[in-house]
Amino acid sequence: ARAMQFLCEYNQYGRFSFGKISTGKVPGYKFSNYLNDFKEHQKTRHLIAESTLKHYDNELGRFLLFLDQNNFNSLDELKSSSILDYCGSFSSYSSSVRHNAFSTLRVFLRYLFNEKILNEDLSDLVPSVSHKR
């Protein structure tokens, strides 16, 4: 299954990313300020644990890297097709990986809308994945 993920990623992006992606490991990271503000908001308003904040780095780092690789210069450029393309890139991943990635993305997109960073709430476009622990 992991080999298929690598092949699908290479087919889609023309490169491999090994391990987890975090904003600290991505050179020239354009959107790190949004992630940092989101994490601070979650930490102060919702008393989110440090382990969850690290999880946000991994999951949202992957999404923001996708935007960077697809030449987004601003979050204003986000459209429904961008969200669907990103979600489609998880087709070969397990339901637990998709569940974690998509639920985190939904919370982040809702935050961006509530903070008036996005003009449209795109969180409804992110699919729900049922997952049993």
**Does 91 score more than 70 pLDDT?**
yes
- What does pTM read for this prediction? 0.78
Q: Tell me the residue type at 124.
A: D
What is the pLDDT at residue 127? Answer: 92
Average pLDDT, the chain: 83
Of 54, 29, 25, 28, the residue nearest 39 (C-alpha): 54
DSSP conformation letters of 23-89: GGGSTT-TTHHHHHHHHHHHHHHH---HHHHHHHHHHHHHHHHHHHHTT---GGG--HHHHHHHHHT
Place of tokens 């889609």: 12
Check pLDDT > 60 for residue 28: no
> Domain spanning 21-125 has what CATH number?
1.10.150.130
**Any idea where the domains of the chain sit in the sequence?**
21-125
